[in-house]
Structure 1
């Protein structure tokens, strides 16, 4: 299985595969994981009660970091969307408003894992040096 170097980039890929395409299953729900572990079933309350507001809940981080994605699924990704309202962000950090750099992608080393990626929308969230990397690879950024 393939491993990612940037969890934030991996999260955007998971968003595409799990919540948009529904090819990476089962869909993760933080509420289900918390309930399964006997930690309640309200992610928002859990985050506040454990001083995790505006942070990634460790249980979600662990899940997504360990999640394996097959090469076949990675090859199916042709487009990614960057947006502060992605569902995966709510599942990772239920108390987050998108006003900080918690989910910023800072490197694009993992582009090689997506051989058919052709477009990234919402690219205004990327630094200029990262936009240059996309251009070099022929990936449309808008």
Structure 2
């Protein structure tokens, strides 16, 4: 395969074992700040995927709740293939920190009684949400917490 510009396009998706959390890149700014980008893989590529309402609600919940555990989160966004999320953090190269933030955030998801910003004013597709689906995804991930560091 030719080398691609997008890191995930160079990943052999047939060899990874979800769930996992892996550092996919570090981007350094002109003033020395660094953005650490992580692949949080929830589902096994090409074998399973997250249903959109569950994924959408988990995204809202993680985007909101993760910032209670880390003050330099830039973004958490879903992958188009519906198998995971990307997490970008500023100036924190601690893999253990990322795992702890994710674990604490998923615990928060389990305790949530509503999806944040789940309305037509704050969300572009407010009809596509499932709090219970998001909680089920969080339970699945937490159940396999000891596997998050094993990518292959």
Q: What is the TM-score normalised by the length of structure 1?
A: 0.30
Instruction: Name the one with the larger strand percent.
Output: 2
Instruction: Name the one with the larger helix percent.
Output: 1
Q: What is the TM-score normalised by the length of structure 2?
A: 0.29
